[in-house]
Structure 1
């Protein structure tokens, strides 16, 4: 009997984190420089295929700085990926945040192919090659690339002009059929920048049937062997319907590994596969080549982040994000005021995007802004009916539940299978009361504009981020609203401009909403 082994190593949702820091703390167990060390160590053990499964180039202060000030230089994440010798990459939804021209430049800079099995050009051809066949240790594996087709819901149309995002499940089925007909393969792997819509153990539906995540349906209904996933930032290494599944977290906190063993005995062959995760730790050394490669842009980013650009009359910190969503905080007031001033809209809604401590000190730097406002949002002003505002408020009220001890808690759907604090909005310019003791869809007991009840058929100008304006987060009616104003400037830049326009900003708190429980 002959036994051979190979491994597939997977990163996903790196989000531009190269160095072991989120720029909040100095050193943290994450980043491509640390993951790179694990990759090099594991490569010494057996033949290897290295994959990135999407959301590679966008999301960190370093990539923000590079895009804003050094776009003429090579993308630093791609430089690191080239050094690590990736075999291919899959497009994530955030690959399109900087626009198609930037992404085309990234593709040209990459020493590896980018695959797109369900992204097509206007003429119906694939944007890039849809699949790739790799032969290692005598085993031929077909890798089919898929990206959540919800990109069109979230992304600015100008960033994806000329591209179509087809249903990921349907195109998984199509390409599985194609590779079986035209390729001699031992294994088929779906590399899907998407996640799971059902609980992996019980099969319980976890989210509405929107198509954003279709991994469970793929595993249950399609004939393939390995499912590499991402998007949800979960840490998964399991078997589902006989298939090995991997999802390796986010920001390079761990590396996905699928070990494949081939047993050959005379003319018979058996293939076994097993998924696992290898975690980055504080003790994991950094990859010195990547550190040296990124030394200049990292230092420039650190310096830029600490330049004072504005001042408050007092600090507005918070230690508990949940409390900010229960009782209005001056930080939220400030973001609402900025959105309303920069847009001219009389009503605003915004979320507190993360669950960490936050807020601003008296002296504001770009580090403070980016660490608090963590997404590359722009603003839109929509013409929204009173009825839809009421529906949005009721949707926000689903964020809360009351436990058996009569304590206010976050509803399960907002933290499992993926934390979604960014889908709970607070509103400004109206007065409202949420009573969490009441049944769903009956929790908004007061909603006033200028002291008068919101009129269902009347229309109101509302400013919100571009993500929410697409209807994402279970607000589908916003996608149908007329766009009155589209402000094509990143919100972090708007916050910086606001401080530059106001030498000293007064901390305010206008109480306009209450939560009863």
Structure 2
């Protein structure tokens, strides 16, 4: 049988963004310095790729894989300070002619009002087959897939979302929703797309990552169901391409069980490109003759002027808000060495815990240094400093736990550390790979404790007292923490299902700002209630 000629072939290009987290402009909001990130740079790549596809008589599909509308001060300002104008991220995707977006877990952070408004303003569908109306199998956000045709070839894009969201999200933000298993949903819908819709190509865009190493198949994280990408490739027949995200990894040029995979990192540093060549099938229809995946970097790319102009009024309002003076710090709350900060009580973490305790009335609190880029607070504080340190829209909860739960949580904290070849503290790879998880290491106030990281995991808490007495395993303690942790997020299963004593549905960043505004001057204090040691050192 003769091979198809070029004129017989259909060329399909998929351009994926994922985990943009509210990043349009190529800047660091902490200092407004240039940063090689953002949708404005991605836009230039997208327009280039679309021109190339059209010149070849092919089709380009642009898909955002989720976690779009949250993550920067611009996103926060639009959601919390002035949500009346159209969503700027949706406006940008509309302008760029995106074909679809997938619901990510952070889409829910600002509540249903903000999310539903963004969906209404979109000229493209938001896809998620496994987020359904509670008690049904009916997708909540409408049709869970998209069909496009090119020269008679039928291409389907199915959306899926990590079902682990109820373990993190504020329950009122996901009321009336159910999150079905992504693998089981994919089995149902991929079969439907092949049999009922007659799809020649099935692309699954999944806001989730890989629970196993794509190369070896070895488990790379706890098998909680948060990430199911490997199972999707192995257990769901009929998938040609799997677009992934959520883990902020950079993956391309690989396939699992014949499924081409890609994951483009985060913040718009890269875009994922998948190129497929379709040829006529033996029995009619089309088959995939070739497919490849790669990552396109925005390094050195000139931002798209239309997207910059679209974002300009939002950015100007955000910058004015960020430079609003809040108050002053007497003492030192700056971050010089994140590793050292996580090993001994310090003024910055003690202050955030103090805000949580005084706001909630709890006498015990925990919080984290979310990222190594956190600068701390300088002597004169603005909103820019607040949102540069407390980067997530977490709210505050007080839950009632036992002393046994407390010890288990501290043992989980202690897993953050390993000792390197010279016996020095280092970050455990499971908190760094496939993405940094500094936000899953908490530091506590209101109790006194010591972690000896030279000891085996599970036996590192060598001191734990409350008000001068050993913590009773069976006694109950009320602890303030963010809603993510209170739901068990970060593998803190000991917190799941605990009684909620108080729910404060205000962003912690706002609580911090209000605390400083009311007092004008905050004195840095360190009571030395905790430390991390190595064998008594």
Q: TM-score, normalised by structure 2?
A: 0.94
Distance 1:265 1:457, change over 3 A: closer
Partner secondary structure for residue 239 of structure 1: strand
Does residue 297 in structure 1 map to residue 310 in structure 2?
no
Cα distance in 2 for partners of 1:264, 1:180 equals 16
Return 80-89 or 311-320, whichever deviates more: 311-320
Matches within 5 A, 1:275-354: 275-281=293-299, 283-354=300-371
Q: What residue in structure 1 maps to residue 246 of structure 2?
A: 231
1:14 to 20, 27, 33: 20
Q: TM-score, normalised by structure 1?
A: 0.97
Cα distance in 2 for partners of 1:257, 1:167 equals 27
Does residue 480 in structure 1 map to residue 497 in structure 2?
yes
Q: What residue in structure 1 maps to residue 85 of structure 2?
A: 73
Does residue 360 in structure 1 map to residue 377 in structure 2?
yes
Q: What residue in structure 2 maps to residue 246 of structure 1?
A: 262
CA RMSD of aligned residues (A): 1.5
Residue 138 (structure 1) shift: 3.5
Does residue 175 in structure 1 map to residue 182 in structure 2?
no
Return 133-142 or 480-489, whichever deviates more: 133-142
Return 67-76 or 441-450, whichever deviates more: 67-76
Does residue 393 in structure 1 map to residue 406 in structure 2?
no
Residue 97 (structure 1) shift: 1.2
Query: Retained in 2: the 8 A contact 1:311–1:364?
Result: yes
Cα distance in 2 for partners of 1:475, 1:314 equals 33
Residue 6 (structure 1) shift: 2.1
Matches within 5 A, 1:364-383: 364-383=381-400
Q: What residue in structure 2 maps to residue 504 of structure 1?
A: 521
Residue 38 (structure 1) shift: 0.6
Matches within 5 A, 1:442-481: 442-481=459-498
Cα distance in 2 for partners of 1:101, 1:302 equals 24
Distance 1:132 1:105, change over 3 A: same
Residue 269 (structure 1) shift: 5.4
Q: What residue in structure 2 maps to residue 256 of structure 1?
A: 272
Cα distance in 2 for partners of 1:476, 1:315 equals 35
Query: Retained in 1: the 8 A contact 2:201–2:288?
Result: no
Residue 513 (structure 1) shift: 1.1
Cα distance in 2 for partners of 1:401, 1:68 equals 39
Distance 1:81 1:162, change over 3 A: same
Cα distance in 1 for partners of 2:120, 2:228 equals 30
Cα distance in 2 for partners of 1:295, 1:357 equals 26
Partner secondary structure for residue 359 of structure 2: helix
2:139 to 126, 133, 140: 126
Q: Which runs of 5+ in 1 are unaligned?
A: none
Query: Retained in 2: the 8 A contact 1:316–1:360?
Result: yes
Query: Could you report, residue by residue, the CA deviation over 1:238-283 in whole angstroms, capped at 9, with x for unpaired residues?
Result: 22222111111111111110011234599785521100000011x2
Cα distance in 2 for partners of 1:367, 1:101 equals 25
Query: Retained in 2: the 8 A contact 1:319–1:356?
Result: no
Q: Which runs of 5+ in 2 are unaligned?
A: 54-58
Does residue 203 in structure 1 map to residue 217 in structure 2?
yes
